[in-house]
Structure 1
């Protein structure tokens, strides 16, 4: 019965997955053909790094867009598979028939929820596997395994996201008892989880390592930007080779105190003329003259799979808790 009720949404999901798979396979073959062409060039010129960097530049935007599309899959699953699961029964009144058969209502919900959650995990896992395969040559060169968008769209994490989205949708529909409001609230809830996880939870899944880096003029010129709208003494875009930088301190003086914002602003806006030709011109030697340093927290790339497994396990644990709440609620409602 669960399959008969779910087969139309499942067919729609299968068709969408087939279309996405066709595009991802085409993109993956295109990337590999481009990589082979670039490798032929670098063998002829004895320099692969600059040539392969062009491969990353050619496909970075497309792969980010595909990762963004894949990030919407849990949202759509929660809205169209999870939210109507119970809400439609309550809204149309068919729960009076469904819940008065020989099958108890908790078993009814458990089987229907398991059907949808497993289907959601299969669809999200297949899409993630295809994107991981298609982007593999670019990811190998870029080395951005912990990127906020890339991490959540590759390997195992989308499987956990889809399970939680389906469970959240079903629980929301059970409590709201109306399909459209449940769909809207589910979308907001899933988007909130997908924003909070990489920005507030993921950096703290494991204790970070720390390093202190002296900010010479050369180091400052390697940064992406200096300062904020409030002229805070910050440096953005500092990299640690082979690692994910989770946080950086403000520019610190030799005694460990933050650099005075007035001094920082003077170096940005009124630096003495030195003829420096780096990224930030005269500002870099002006700041370097104050003997500054940064405290950097980072996660090594060799922790990637531990982060993937931990985050996916956290999603699945939350899914189980939400499902348990739904089973409790359906048993105790009139």
Structure 2
């Protein structure tokens, strides 16, 4: 896309870069009220059947994912016009999702500024190695990368570690505001857990909040993973990297069924979100539908998204993600080519 078309596209989406207080409040009501209602219902159901409780917590986890989208928009300053309102609601929903608001806002904004830039990986994104980097790495680096990319690590151990442990600590160069917000989040979580432990008992609290935490964590990591780890994604070195291409080619349109699209706060329109993080989640679908250029982007559905599990390494030469198996095949082919003598040598 040339500069003139980029300028025209910016002009078309600009009207949507303003939040609507009415829409934001409505989303808070239809997200937070059902979540807390389901939590109470889960507590009541324990005395009848824990299977029923688990079913309720699964639905509640979906609403917690939706609460995370509110948190996410607050981090971008796009949920409310007022900065203080974004900070307050962002901190509250951050406590609900075990995410310190200021800390996550920093790392996520870095992710937006460096998405798909091979020279600026490592903050707020999934660990990606190129084929050449992997093949030239030490045994221990390759082993660590394989363990990291294992689905059990990525989607079960990973969410537990990141949300429960990693987010409890500040980064080394964090500013005072960010550090204080992390402390506030941690203190609030301890207070809430203590309160529930003294009222309904820690075991009961864990039986309800545990599944909600794990399911929502798995869903959250999956959404983030699949929206950048698809076969024909976009990665470039600094000198060739382009912000618009990174948004429209390096972020997918995850086409979900309407119910899941609603639960996930339209985050499937990830290409538009990366093009402009100032657009509130409730406008993303409308922006997509009104701009043809935004419809001609990498699109994945639920069945196709499962294929992303096999994509492990970025192939710079062919500009696509490949599996470990594919790299192994290439290595064996090269090895055989060097080890098999040609006819002239044998004669």
TM > 0.5 between the two? no
Q: Highest Rg: 1 or 2?
A: 1
**Normalized against structure 2, the TM-score is what?**
0.28
